[in-house]
Amino acid sequence: MNIDLSNKNALVCGSTQGIGRATAIELASLGANVTLMARNEEKLKQICDILPNKGQNHQYLAADFSHPQQVKGAIEKFLDANEGVHILVNNTGGPPGGKAFEADPEEYRVAFNLHLVSNQVLAQALIPFMIKENYGRIINIISTSVKIPINGLGVSNTIRGAVANWSKTLANELGEYGITVNNVLPGSTKTARLDSIFETKAKNTGTPVEEVSEAARKGIPARRFAEAEEVAYAIAFLSSSSAAYINGVNLPVDGGRTGSL
């Protein structure tokens, strides 16, 4: 199987670091025209400059996903100058850790805007072109918590679950138009997000970060954390024509950690 994304346009959110960055690089290496989207314009410029390029048109959009109106303005401006995208990768950093019952209601509102509302804004703007092309891939990078909630991530568990059900609903609605909507569920991946989770847990429990990290590693059948590129490979496959009959699924990329089918 040869995955070729030539002549496909991709929008990758949260693409200045971690899984988003790795995904943007992988899709570009497979021939896609990649548009990066995140809030830090300087980092966006830096990543855009290092994307593999064999005559492709790479660009970036700056917007803060905690402000959906910014996202709306940015994507509308993009569509004024571009026909659309075939591949939308929704990816945004998760909410801070903490127990669900201790979270301020405002934390839920912020997270809802950051993830679900901004996803909806982008999907509504980009789906008409996907329908016209009879080719669309919407891939949401969320969390294994949609299968089994993760202790200490109360707000994240709640919002990720909402995104998963939004995604499944879209998959049912859009399948007839050649559009698939799937969720990739990364397990513990070597990113700044994972470091932050371990540091928070270490602080809350009085345990050294090294011990927290080692305990997490031992809980994974593969006995290691994922590289961001390994998650990107799964996203790239779901973006391709080879994955046309995979729709509405939650795909864990977690080394076997999640304790359910």
Contacts of 155 (CB under 8 A, 6+ apart): 95, 96, 98, 100, 103, 107, 108, 111
| CATH number of the CATH domain containing 232 | 3.40.50.720
Element (DSSP H or E) covering residue 194: helix 192-205
pLDDT tens readout for residues 115-161 = 999 999 999 999 999 999 999 999 999 999 999 999 989 999 999 99
Beta bridge partners of 161: none
* Count of residues in the chain: 261
pLDDT given for residue 193 in this prediction: 83
pTM of the model: 0.96
Beta bridge partners of 37: 13, 61
On the question of pLDDT at 220 being above 90, the answer is: yes
What are the phi and psi torsion angles at 6 (to 5°)? -60, 140
Place of tokens 């007839």: 176
Sheet of strand 136-141: strand arrangement: 59-62, 33-38, 9-13, 87-90, 136-141, 179-186, 250-253
| 21, part of any domain | yes
Q: What is the mean pLDDT of the chain?
A: 96
pLDDT given for residue 196 in this prediction: 85
Residue 141 contacts residue 186 (beta carbons within 8 Å): yes
pLDDT given for residue 58 in this prediction: 98
pLDDT given for residue 118 in this prediction: 97
pLDDT tens readout for residues 27-37 = 999 999 999 99
Closest CA to 34 of 62, 13, 64, 19: 13
pLDDT tens readout for residues 63-119 = 999 999 999 999 999 999 999 999 999 999 888 889 999 999 999 999 999 999 999
Cα gap 34→259, rounded to integer Å:
35
| 118, part of any domain | yes
- The number of folded domains in the chain is 1
| 28, part of any domain | yes
DSSP symbols for 144-182 = GGGTSPPTTBHHHHHHHHHHHHHHHHHHHHHGGGTEEEE
| 219, part of any domain | no
Q: What are the C-alpha distances in Å from 39 to residues 49, 81, 90, 138, 200?
A: 17, 20, 14, 21, 24
pLDDT given for residue 43 in this prediction: 98
- What is the percent of the chain where pLDDT is above 90? 90
Considering all CA atoms of the chain, what is the largest pairwise distance in Å, rounded to the nearest integer?
55
On the question of pLDDT at 12 being above 90, the answer is: yes
More confident site: 236 or 261: 236
Cα gap 86→38, rounded to integer Å:
19
pLDDT category, 167, cuts 50, 70, 90? very high
| 140, part of any domain | yes
| 207, part of any domain | no
Fill in the DSSP letter of residue 189. B
pLDDT given for residue 200 in this prediction: 85
| 66, part of any domain | yes
pLDDT given for residue 47 in this prediction: 98
pLDDT tens readout for residues 184-212 = 999 999 998 888 889 988 888 999 999 99
Enclosing domain of residue 239: 9-190+226-253
| 119, part of any domain | yes
Residue 56 burial (CB count, 10 A): 17
